[in-house]
Chains A and B, each alone.
Chain A
Amino acid sequence: MDSNRLRVALIGCGQIADAHLQELRRIPQASVVGVCDVHIDLARQAATRFGVPKAFDDVGSMLTATRPDVVHITTPPHSHRALALQCLASRAHVYVEKPFTIDAGEATEVIDAAEARGLRVCLGHDQLFDPAWQECRRRVADGDIGSVIHVDALQGYDLAGPFGRLLQDEPGHWVHRLPGGLFQNVISHALARILDFIPDRLPAVSARWSMAPDGPAFPTELRVLVAGGSCTGHLTFSTRVRPLRRSTRVLGSSCALDVDLDARTVTLDRAAALPGPLAKVELTCDRFKQAGRHLTVNLTRLGRHELHYFEGMHTLFCRFYEAISTDGPMPVPHRDAFRATRVMDTVFASCRSAAQMVASDRELVSGSAQ
């Protein structure tokens, strides 16, 4: 094995581990030396399919036997803290899948442990490195839309998918034990897109969750309002809307950008120059031209094999490894990992307190009716 290559190990061989191992194959400066899962069958299938030399069912044994430079943690969130601390103690840098930890207290522990040892921890906010989001960032930085006033992020979720069905069938599933339930496992990316444009360390948060009529017996709808000093954001998470989209509208002081991660497009929405009915023709024409450009770009990307679903993950891995190798800046700084976790805590606390208020209001109403 090339000694200049980073030795990478992975813990947790579930669904998202496939994406990690697939993307790691495309990174020549990384070599996967071991995979581990508490269920050896899962570890073995990952090792077999991705040509990893060793499979383990014990983290300690893997760390001792493979001496990795970096460990990717792709287990359920409640195990992130303990595993990250174990890996850091064995002097490995750590990549943690979202959500980072169960709460901000755990996040602080992990970050402090890394910084005390001069190691790096990277939170897996890979959608921030999706080519469409990167283009959005670039255009905002270039001043295409003026200053950012508001960010509207939409995240759809399919409860009829394999994981969604499992959640509905199993009241004891680990997702239901998270403080934020399903949302804690899923909203990280949409929230990160909002926080990307909110500079405040701890923005104000107000949130509500609710159950869908005729839906499962746990909250599946979430609305979050985030307010920083100069910018606000709104997150809509829904299991009921179709089509399922990961889209964001970034509203600026002069124009807006519509970012569609599924189509991998960024569309500029600007005011019309022509008056009255001609404006309608002008705006349609403008969108038509942009759609033509998107088609050309995506066809070119298709020809160049640049339309991988997890392109953002690939970029994030490369930048993380570069930061490790060159002691350069982190693609997702430690403070951002902490802030994302802290905001999530506030979101769920706000939801719980709103739900309690609604419950006590109902009691009052039913009491006065009697």
Chain B
Amino acid sequence: MTICVTGGSGFLGTRVVTELLARGHHVRCAIRSAAKAAEVARRHSDEQRSRLETVVGNLDRREFCREFLDGCDVVIHIAAPLTGSVPALFANGVIPTRVLVGAAADRGIRRFVLISSLAVYGTQALRPGSVLDERCPVDRLPHLRDAYTYSKVAQELVCWEAHNDRGLPLVVLRPGVLYGPGRALLTPRIGLTIGGVLVQMGGRQQVPYCFVGNCARAVASAVDATGIDGMRFNIVDDSLPSGDEVLRRHRMHVGRIRRIKIPGWAIGSVARACEWGSARSSGMFPPVLTPYKAAALWKRLRFSNELAKTHLGWKPLVTFDEGVRLTVQREAAPGCGIGH
């Protein structure tokens, strides 16, 4: 089976490619630069390289997407920028998705797996302590969130449109916060870094982390699983840590950091003050923190991965303890976490 992968040179993509090759698939990666394409090829053995193809080009070009998907059975669409302004994330994430999805629908592929994000949920309406599962609706006002979330929601909508209107056999995976060798352990789910100081938001709430190798396995499982078209899956680890726990591990393994802690009960007030300050200064201070964003990021919730376990036959093998150990070790060979 030929599997076309976008974002194959990225943090998750490299692990997904390794996992797919290990499962015996033929993999074709679309990569933007020739240098990165060569780097992807170098990671693998001669035998695996014989089943790995890299093509250099841009996903926002129709002609390129058509050629890329020629003879393709399954598309795994991972490519999406993580940082930047809203227009930049739309230009480099949403628009290429629209072109790719159009080409995939024309081609009549067997499955289109979109790597979305757990961030897309509109958790504002959930009560503290609720379980966040796939029944929760997508955020209806994502433009009030951060640029990344807005672009991921838009990316999903483009794919669901193609699923509903053109019958694209779509499967959506929504990973939590990915961590692993090559990426920092501390993320906005723990707090915001302002001027080198971490402003920790709460600390007792569970953080939906997912070890990158675990996620790569879930993605590979979505290729073969049957009867899952039109479904969406949360991909988070078992036994999720709290924000305090992540910070404790960070202190233990990486080092101390300068930190100010905003207790959970005070987050709402701080967010309201920030929003007021931004409006009062006519945007001179950007609305970094608003009650809407705060409710989405730092509410006390529990995160379910049951659907993925049931339908994908997936299990997160690397525990948080082991994941932290692998993350803080020298990440000499990216992709090394997958073997665990």
Q: Which residues of A contact B (CB under 8 A)?
A: 13-15, 17-18, 22, 25-26, 39, 41-42, 45-46, 48-49, 162-163, 166, 168-170, 172, 305-308
Choice from B88, B143, B154, B280 contacting A162 with Cβ under 8 Å? B88
Give chain A nearest CB distance to B114 CB in angstroms: 16
The answer to whether B94 and A49 touch across the interface, beta carbons within 8 angstroms, is: no
The CA-CA distance from A14 to B86 in the complex, in Å, is 9
Known contacts A42-B91, A169-B32; is A49 also within 8 Å of B284 by CB? no
- B283: interface (CB < 8 Å): yes
A172 to B64, CA, bound (A): 13
8 Å CB contact of B87 from A14, A305, A306: A14
List of 4 A-B pairs having minimum Cβ-Cβ separation, nearest first: A305-B281, A169-B33, A162-B84, A41-B94
Inter-chain CA distance A48–B154, complex, in Å, is 12
Q: Is the CB of B282 within 8 A of A45?
A: no
B83 at the interface (CB under 8 A from A): yes
Indicate whether B240 reaches chain A with its CB closer than 8 angstroms: no
The docked-state distance in angstroms from the alpha carbon of A11 to that of B290 is 30
Given A39-B91, A169-B32, the answer on whether A45 and B86 have CB atoms closer than 8 Å is: yes
- A49 engages B32 (CB within 8 Å): no
Cα A166 to Cα B58 with chains together (Å): 11
Q: Chain B residues near A22: list those with CB within 8 A.
A: 283
CB of B41 closer than 8 Å to a CB of A: no
What are the interface flags for B153-166 relative to A under an 8 Å C-beta threshold, 1 for contact and 0 otherwise? 01000100000000
Q: Which residues of B contact A (CB under 8 A)?
A: 32-33, 36, 58, 81, 83-88, 90-92, 94-95, 98, 143, 150, 154, 158, 280-284
Contact B143 A45 (CB under 8 A): yes
CA of A26 to CA of B279 in the docked complex: distance in angstroms? 11
Q: Is the CB of B143 within 8 A of A41?
A: no
| Distance to closest chain A CB from B263 (angstroms) | 28
Residues in B whose Cβ lies below 8 Å from that of A168:
33
Cβ–Cβ contact B58 & A170, under 8 A: yes
Q: Which residues of A contact B81 (CB under 8 A)?
A: 162
Q: Is the CB of B154 within 8 A of A41?
A: yes
Q: CA–CA, A306 to B87, complex, Å?
A: 25
Complex alpha-carbon distance, A307 and B281, angstroms: 9
> Across the interface, which residues of A come within 8 angstroms of B87, CB to CB?
13-15, 17-18, 42, 45-46
Contact yes or no, A170 B33, CB < 8 A: yes
Chain A residues within 8 Å of B36, by CB? 169
Residues B282 and A26 in contact, CB atoms below 8 Å apart: yes
Closest residue on chain B to residue A302 by CB atoms: B284
16 further A-B contacts with Cβ under 8 Å, apart from A17-B87, A305-B281, are A14-B87, A14-B88, A25-B282, A25-B283, A39-B90, A41-B90, A41-B94, A45-B154, A162-B81, A162-B83, A168-B33, A169-B33, A170-B58, A172-B58, A306-B284, A308-B283
CA distance A41 to B98 in the complex (A): 9
A49/B58 in contact, CB under 8 A: no
The docked-state distance in angstroms from the alpha carbon of A42 to that of B88 is 9
Cα A14 to Cα B91 in complex, Å, equals 8
Q: 11 interchain pairs (CB within 8 A)?
A: A13-B87, A15-B85, A39-B95, A41-B90, A41-B98, A162-B81, A162-B88, A169-B32, A172-B58, A305-B281, A308-B284
In the assembled complex, the CB of B215 is this many whole angstroms from the nearest CB of chain A, namely 24
Q: How far, in Å, is A44 (CB) from chain B's closest CB?
A: 8
Closest Cβ of chain B to A269, distance in Å, is: 30
Specify which chain A residues have a CB less than 8 angstroms from the CB of B58 in the assembled complex.
170, 172
The smallest C-beta distance from B31 to any residue of chain A, in angstroms, reads 9
A46 CA to B154 CA in the complex, in Å?
Answer: 13
- Nearest neighbor of B83 in chain A, beta-carbon distance: A162
Q: Please, which residues of chain B bring their CB within 8 A of the CB of A169?
A: 32-33, 36
Per the bound structure, the CA–CA distance linking A169 and B86 in Å amounts to 20
| Cβ B282 vs Cβ A18 within 8 A | no
**Pairwise interchain contact B88-A15, C-beta atoms closer than 8 A:** yes
- Distance in angstroms from A178 CB to nearest chain B CB is 18
Measured between beta carbons, the chain A residues less than 8 angstroms from B150 are: 45
Q: How long is the Cα–Cα vector from A55 to B85 in the complex, in angstroms?
A: 19
Query: What B residues does A26 contact at CB under 8 A?
Result: 282-283
Alpha-carbon gap, A143 to B21, bound state (A): 73
Chain A residues near B83 (CB-CB < 8 A): 162
